[in-house]
Amino acid sequence: MDKQLLDQVTAKAQTWLSPEYDEKTREAVKAMLEAEDKTDLVESFYKDLEFGTGGLRGIMGPGSNRMNIYTVGAATQGLANYLKEAFADLPEISVVVGHDVRNNSRLFAETVANIFSANGIKVYLFDNFRPTPELSFAIRKLGCQSGVNITASHNPKEYNGYKAYWSDGAQIIAPHDVNIIDHVNRIKHVSEIKFQGDPSKIEIIGDAMDKAFLAEIKTLSLDPEVIKRHADLKIVYTPIHGTGVKLVPDSLRNYGFTNIIHVPEQDVPSGDFPTVDSPNPENASAMAMAIEKAKEVGADLVVASDPDADRIGCVIRDNNGEYQLINGNQIVMILLNYIMLRNRELGLLKGNEYVVKTIVTTETIKAIAKNQNVKMYDCYTGFKWIADVIRSNEGTMRYLGGGEESYGFLAEDFCRDKDSVSAISLMAEICAWAKDKGMDFNEMLQDIYLQNGYSHEEGISVVRTGKSGAEEIQQMMKDFRSNPPKTLGGSPVVIVKDYADLNCKDMRTGDVTKMDFPVTSNVLQFFTEDNSKVSVRPSGTEPKIKFYVEVHDTMTSKADYEACNRKAAEKIAAIKKDLGI
């Protein structure tokens, strides 16, 4: 092990033995310092947690690179200092604080509330766990300047996280993210964190905010009559032990659905997520119990939310009647297709509407928007960038919806983060709408491909943990930049987009043009002659590098669907081989 690094982490760890840290923390750090194997020591102290695409996120435990009351405290003190600087002209600054069901989430949320209140900031603290989108809604509803949600989304149970929000209800972006980090870095000692709260500055909120949020979500319904005709639609829903249990069933009932079938074991809120290996609804294993329940009752639709209820999972019957997950791209396609179509049918399209997708999300959405004569924006991965597009168009254009391939969708602008509560409610409405037309979900999906072109996508994550893993990921990105693939799946690479310098290079002519994005980002994209697309980026919240592969084909009839699926699988396998993954 590198002696210089070991000396650095040892010196840093020894500062955590001072009396300002609680006894349990001091004992744990002492044990790491005395252990023969220094791996835990290095992993816990080799860096400080930083804001990424989803804020602060890490494994819980003692250390500067871990989620604990001290790293949470430093982030909050830095945010509080920045808020007092940014809103110095306001008589009172206010924030909303929420949390999910994870272990330590309530402790961290109360720590955050205490620190804000100790700094003279008014705090609205949720009485218990709530979906992430409700926190975003509450910031806007209460006219607050900021907010914090304690959650690690769909990460494994060892993780927790800290999402910081600005006054528009969106997660923080530049320049605020950089400024907050600067203020956090100015805190040199734990004694500078004001842990002793002022109870007079903390107000508990709950049921009234739930009702207001659900009432707004109901306004998104585009066909209440079709729901009346299919109110008894069999909908299996699981929150996977998370916060969705609080609002999703209520929202479905609010829409008019009467036959919501639960998975009782997974209705139990728990940070241990006892029935799943990973509480991620994009994984078939996390949906297994819901699928079993669907088979038992003959469900029309199976839906799920992740632990903080911002992501949606969805299962439909395939051509053989078997229950199969649809991917995040298909979820976004189905929702946006329905919203645009119904808006057209209702005469609501006036020419100033728009939708948003992220750059790694399927290009088929671009075709759907073009066919509906609706403007489409591309933005970076992360809902803070979709929120940024909404912010820039506020007052001039009407937002219809936006989504990303990672199972996130936002149908409304009264909230500025992805929302499974509204997405699941609309998905159930779409299922009723399709049934009213004599179609099942699978036929409706094929219909979208028939009208807009077939596409198939696959996401591949290569996990590389710890310091050595981070260095390996960095090297992989460097190698792809210096030596981009010449062909992928047998088709020449014709366009390379590098968002690190915003250069778009035509490999046939050598011409380079600049792309119009607000900031740079560590993302590479390769486009082939046959319209395949490969995107590569390190995750901002997890120790992995992500590959997004998308291939296209033509469907002349629904009978082509299975053949297109087979060809797509072969093409993606060939592309993965070319990429060495």
Q: Is the peptide bond before 175 cis (omega within 30 degrees of 0)?
A: yes
Alpha-carbon span 171 to 148, nearest angstrom: 9
Cβ-contact 425, 221 below 8 angstroms: yes
Partners of residue 401 on adjacent β-strands: 355
Rounded alpha-carbon distances, angstroms, from residue 368 to 191, 314, 330, 364, 557: 56, 21, 12, 6, 17
Alpha-carbon span 570 to 155, nearest angstrom: 30
Q: How many residues in the chain?
A: 581
Nearest one of 177, 135, 51 to 541, comparing CA atoms: 51
Cβ-contact 379, 399 below 8 angstroms: no
171 in helix, strand or coil? strand
Please give the structure tokens belonging to residue 146: 């900021």
Neighbours of 209 (CB within 10 A): 21
Q: Which helix (H) or strand (E) holds 305?
A: strand 301-305
One of 153, 305, 422, 532 is an active-site residue; which one?
153
Residues in CB range of 508: below 8 A, 6 or more apart: 494
Alpha-carbon span 343 to 401, nearest angstrom: 12
Cβ-contact 504, 514 below 8 angstroms: yes
Please give the structure tokens belonging to residue 517: 């994005």
- Cα 141 vs. chain centroid, distance in angstroms? 22
- Is-catalytic flag, 153? yes
Alpha-carbon span 73 to 115, nearest angstrom: 7
Place of tokens 């300047």: 145
Q: How far apart are the first and last CA of the chain?
A: 29
Phi-psi region of 351 (alpha: psi -120 to 50; beta: other; left: phi over 0): left
- CA torsion sign, 464 to 466 to 469 to 471? positive
Residues catalogued as catalytic: 153
